[in-house]
Amino acid sequence: MFLGDANTHCNDNSTTGIGVNLGTSSDLVIYFAGGGACYDSLTCETLQTATSGPFGSTQLAQTASGFGGSIFDRNLSGNPLATANFVYVPYCTGDEHGGNNTATYSTNSGSVQYHHVGRANFAEDLTRLTLLFAAPTKVIVVGSSTGGYGALFNYDSIRKNWLTVASYLIDDSGSPLEANVTPASVWALQFSNWNIGALLNPICSCQSAWSPALAAIAAKYPSDRMSLLSFEQDSVLPSYYQISESQFTTALNALVTDVIAPTSNVKYYFVSGSGHVLVFNPASHTQGVNLVTWLGQQVGNSGAWSSQHP
């Protein structure tokens, strides 16, 4: 079901909300949807590199029709999330769920206001979720693509909301690469037009990369199991980072060496070849262990859980 909220908005200022599907257990899965990103007149208005609003009950129904075989499929064999309560956080703000600003962009036909309010929306959502799910047994925060960044960015606020609850992070294809991969001008525009610093500055020094956010969250919550899922040659993120697929692979491996390997609570699951997003077809991915089984090891606190790569 779709729960609308007049205090949450898409880029076009239309109201939005969240999707909720109740399970039979007290586990809670919060899923941040993906859909590109934009940060200036070129990307937001000319190229339209991010999903736009509106997003309401009609759009949720259309999206849910593609959930078969995904981690949201309660009939998926071995699905460790099959009995959980699902919360779907839509994405229509262009800011990786991290913004709290209305930017004005110039176009050939005049000026357009773009509401980068993903973070403001989720703050409102979180208030509602606290009332709906007062005492979950587990909280599993998941995001795909752009939503992977959103899951990472908002993890701290979610974690603070349920401090004593076992919590997990699954970042699917939102790889937080290190500095010097992307032109500094891109990060400057994101911080300026999204006002994402209001969310990230208390957490990390992320003005030139998202990787410090992962390092900071992993260190702050050392008992929480966190994972990064990715194709070795992601077919979408290189465009965002303005690099080639081969350069992405190099940067992904550097992220492992510099950020993930030094931790004890972050693991990765990499698939060979080119593609994007794994949780919508997890049964098809096998690297030493099937992805469905691997995610079960993560959220089930199995001692067998370890990083997997080709």
| Measured CA angle at 137 (ends 134, 140), to 5 deg | 95
pLDDT tier at 288, thresholds 50, 70, 90: confident
The torsion region of residue 288 among left (phi > 0), alpha (psi -120 to 50) and beta comes to left
Distance CA 219, CA 281 (A): 30
With cut-offs at 50, 70 and 90, classify the pLDDT of residue 29: very high
Q: How does residue 109 score in pLDDT terms, banded at 50, 70 and 90?
A: confident
What pLDDT does 110 receive? 86
Which residues lie below 8 Å from residue 292, measured CB to CB, with a gap of 6+? 76, 77, 78, 79, 80, 282, 283
Per-residue confidence (pLDDT) for residue 107, from 0 to 100: 84
Note the pLDDT tens digit of each residue in 110-138: 899 999 999 999 999 999 999 999 999 99
Q: Write the DSSP symbol of residue 280.
A: T
DSSP state for residue 180 in the 8-state scheme: T
Domain 2-299, architecture per CATH = 3-Layer(aba) Sandwich (3.40)
pTM of the predicted model over 0.95: yes
Give me the mean pLDDT over the 159-178 stretch: 97
